[in-house]
Amino acid sequence: MNPDSRQIQLNWVDPTTKEQQKLRLKLPIAIGRELSKMPSTIHGDRVSRLVLESTQVSRFHALILFEQGQLVVTNQSQSGTFINGISVNRGVLNHGDQLQMGNYAIAVTFVASSLETDSVISFHPDTDLPEPEVQRKTVTATSDFPPAIFQSQQISVRDLYATNLPVYQIDYVAIGAGLGSFIWVDFLRIFGVKVRQIVAIGLEKQPYARYQRLCLNSQIPLHERLRSNSDSCPDNIWGWPSYAIREAWRDFYKGKINSALQYLWQVFAEPTLAETYTPRAGNVFDSIDREAKRIGWHQIFRYGRVRAIRKTDDERYAIAYSCSSSNHRDRAIVLARYVHLATGYPAIQFLPDLQKYREKTQDFKSVVNAYEQHEHVYKHLERYGGTVLIRGRGIVASRIVQRIYEVRQRNRNIFVLHLMRSPKSQGNKFDAAQRQVENHYEFQPFNWPKACWGGELRAILENASPQQRQQFLKDWGGTTTAARSDWRRIVQEGISQGWYQITFGEVERVEREQQNTITYIKGKDLQGQIKLQADFIIDATGLEAKAKSNPLLDDLVTHYNLPLNHLGRLAVAHDFEITEMRSGKGRMYAAGAITLGGPYAAVDSFLGLQYAALRSADSLAAVRAPGMHRLNCFCSFSQWCKWITNQSPV
């Protein structure tokens, strides 16, 4: 290390958002949970204090000093500080070392990395397909639409009509028209609102279109199972009959008594004595089709892309949307008093080094994101064999390993390198409980501990302060996969047969050399460098949901100066209202991934969307929004009877 600079770079993955964090800090450095507990100066030098929000990190956890030409870390915590997995009280840090504190694994670099850009793959604004070449900012190109009056904070309705654009008036508007919108509309319909009072604006008619595409790309064909609970039914607000009961019933009817009994046993004993039941993707989509028909979704859906939303002078919202197709330009305004935002994940996260590789080589075939269509990878492997490098260790990585295993049954000449940033020997801890770990995969049936949906953890999070929420989300979050016995067997088998190998390290860069990708990993010292050669690299690190990545939300946040939470998502109240957007009687709600970091953890799940929809529906019923009636026991029962007999709710 160059002693003059006295700076090091720390890289880690945030346990909640899974986003990469990068910080260059001047020595000495103190790390801990509470700023006030860490020293501000040492021997007259100002200390750089790094706060890590997690209860697994002590208030003052570790100190990094420059002593006699080397970097020395001193542990200050009872739970210990680890260098490359070894517990140290006082240890020397080298370039490329992994520093572990609680659930954080921090890579230490003496030479700063040149990768600074935030890289994502956007969804195409018109087709909604993942488009690696589309630059995010190009979609907000200025034009004559939305009209100039949209520059003010509040629009007069008279001015709106003066624009000569078609203006429609309606009570409720759902923006996005994906699963979040569908579930909200389902609640509105069951609470008494009529079809003609609601409009859902989006790009695709089927509410699950984008979700299904991402499932298929990330290797969940229709017969495979989603990572979702039996009673998380986007088609049924009561969760009964659950998917397990429906599947058991169907199998029983077909004479498959054993599998029917197995599903029932699974939901009775999961996760303790049986593997968690999860529904087949195809069954979930079919059930949504049935419910969409029952509630009149196809009359409610309107094709279009929302460009801007503004408050009006009559306590409503003006929503400017374009519904242009290739042969004609069409724009319109909808005026509504109640608006719901569920625009989903704005983009797919893409590892910066892979983004750089693509920009440099224009090779979009060998380096892919798991959520992009990448069937050619498996076809190539099946025919010619080869090596695949997988990045990320969540549920998507598990599915890809499974798919490769299946392909491998037809061609034995396939090898998998699974590159992880750091070893994982211990699972996250919270109070008296700890998460299970096997082969560096951390297991959890769903993406949050179960009690986040409707148990004790839900209540704890809702009642917590924003500061505490940050900590809880870190403690409960992180990258996990399901403890499916087939996946565990595949990994075990792969390791023992040698075709599946787990490697750890911080990627420096990815290059193309003679038909192969070469991943360079930082070595322990400045000279050392590990090279990983692979035919394909699959990035399975996830989706991105910062409000600023979505042009519509970005415009709304900037225009009305809306507060964002610590994860950069929309700040919402307990009932999911964006309170700063209140316009007299008008109310605006949000749901889904764009609200993570607020009062509820499991926002991007079927059941979480239902929870959000229920909370906003209850608050709309409380303010006597048109058509809305709070569902008491009797109404709930009569609505359920309509559901089971497939009759329209109103």
Binding positions for another protein, rule: CB under 8 A: 231, 237-240, 267-273, 427, 430-436, 444-445, 449-451, 453-459, 611, 614, 618, 631, 633, 636-637, 640
Considering the complex, state which of residue 131 and residue 618 has its C-beta at the smaller distance from another protein.
Answer: 618
**Cα–Cα distance measured from residue 541 to residue 222, given in angstroms and rounded to the nearest whole number:** 22
Considering the complex, state which of residue 374 and residue 615 has its C-beta at the smaller distance from another protein.
Answer: 615
Closest among 42, 290, 266, 309 to 173, alpha carbons compared: 309
Considering the complex, state which of residue 61 and residue 189 has its C-beta at the smaller distance from another protein.
Answer: 189
Considering the complex, state which of residue 9 and residue 636 has its C-beta at the smaller distance from another protein.
Answer: 636
**Cα–Cα distance measured from residue 462 to residue 603, given in angstroms and rounded to the nearest whole number:** 13
Considering the complex, state which of residue 163 and residue 444 has its C-beta at the smaller distance from another protein.
Answer: 444
- State in angstroms the smallest separation of the CB of 472 from another protein: 12
If residue 638 lies in a helix (H) or strand (E), which one and from where to where?
helix 633-644
- State in angstroms the smallest separation of the CB of 286 from another protein: 22
Pairing mode of beta strands 543-544, 536-539: unpaired
Closest among 216, 202, 373, 197 to 296, alpha carbons compared: 197
Considering the complex, state which of residue 368 and residue 628 has its C-beta at the smaller distance from another protein.
Answer: 628
Residue 4 contacts by C-beta under 8 Å, 6 or more apart in sequence? none
Query: Are the C-beta atoms of 348 and 616 separated by less than 8 Å?
Result: no
- State in angstroms the smallest separation of the CB of 107 from another protein: 27
- State in angstroms the smallest separation of the CB of 272 from another protein: 6
Closest among 307, 304, 305 to 150, alpha carbons compared: 307
Considering the complex, state which of residue 370 and residue 631 has its C-beta at the smaller distance from another protein.
Answer: 631
Three-state DSSP at 471 gives helix
Query: Are the C-beta atoms of 198 and 225 separated by less than 8 Å?
Result: no
**Cα–Cα distance measured from residue 133 to residue 124, given in angstroms and rounded to the nearest whole number:** 9
Residue 64 contacts by C-beta under 8 Å, 6 or more apart in sequence? 8, 27, 28, 29, 30, 31, 71, 72, 73, 93
- State in angstroms the smallest separation of the CB of 261 from another protein: 14
- State in angstroms the smallest separation of the CB of 469 from another protein: 17
Structure tokens at 177: 């028209």
- State in angstroms the smallest separation of the CB of 217 from another protein: 29
Considering the complex, state which of residue 263 and residue 430 has its C-beta at the smaller distance from another protein.
Answer: 430
- Kindly state the DSSP code that residue 49 receives in the 8-state scheme: E
Three-state DSSP at 135 gives coil
**Cα–Cα distance measured from residue 334 to residue 305, given in angstroms and rounded to the nearest whole number:** 12
Q: Degrees (nearest 5) of the Cα angle 300, 302, 306?
A: 125
- State in angstroms the smallest separation of the CB of 294 from another protein: 17
- State in angstroms the smallest separation of the CB of 621 from another protein: 12
Q: Largest alpha-carbon pair distance within the chain?
A: 79
- State in angstroms the smallest separation of the CB of 253 from another protein: 20
Considering the complex, state which of residue 286 and residue 456 has its C-beta at the smaller distance from another protein.
Answer: 456
**Cα–Cα distance measured from residue 39 to residue 48, given in angstroms and rounded to the nearest whole number:** 9
Query: Are the C-beta atoms of 486 and 436 separated by less than 8 Å?
Result: no
Considering the complex, state which of residue 141 and residue 433 has its C-beta at the smaller distance from another protein.
Answer: 433
- State in angstroms the smallest separation of the CB of 495 from another protein: 25
Considering the complex, state which of residue 228 and residue 355 has its C-beta at the smaller distance from another protein.
Answer: 228
Burial 30-43 (b: 16+ CB within 10 A, else e): bbbbeeeebeeeee
- State in angstroms the smallest separation of the CB of 454 from another protein: 4
Residue 313 identity (one-letter amino acid): D
Cis peptide before 271 (omega within 30 of 0): yes
- State in angstroms the smallest separation of the CB of 542 from another protein: 22
Considering the complex, state which of residue 57 and residue 614 has its C-beta at the smaller distance from another protein.
Answer: 614
Considering the complex, state which of residue 96 and residue 427 has its C-beta at the smaller distance from another protein.
Answer: 427
Structure tokens at 149: 């009056």
Closest among 33, 138, 141, 97 to 468, alpha carbons compared: 33
Closest among 80, 79, 38 to 59, alpha carbons compared: 38
- State in angstroms the smallest separation of the CB of 279 from another protein: 17
Structure tokens at 318: 């003006």
Considering the complex, state which of residue 517 and residue 595 has its C-beta at the smaller distance from another protein.
Answer: 595
Token pair 């709710």 is found at 649
Please provide the DSSP assignment of 595-627 as one string: GTTSS-S-TTSHHHHHHHHHHHHHHHHHTT-TT
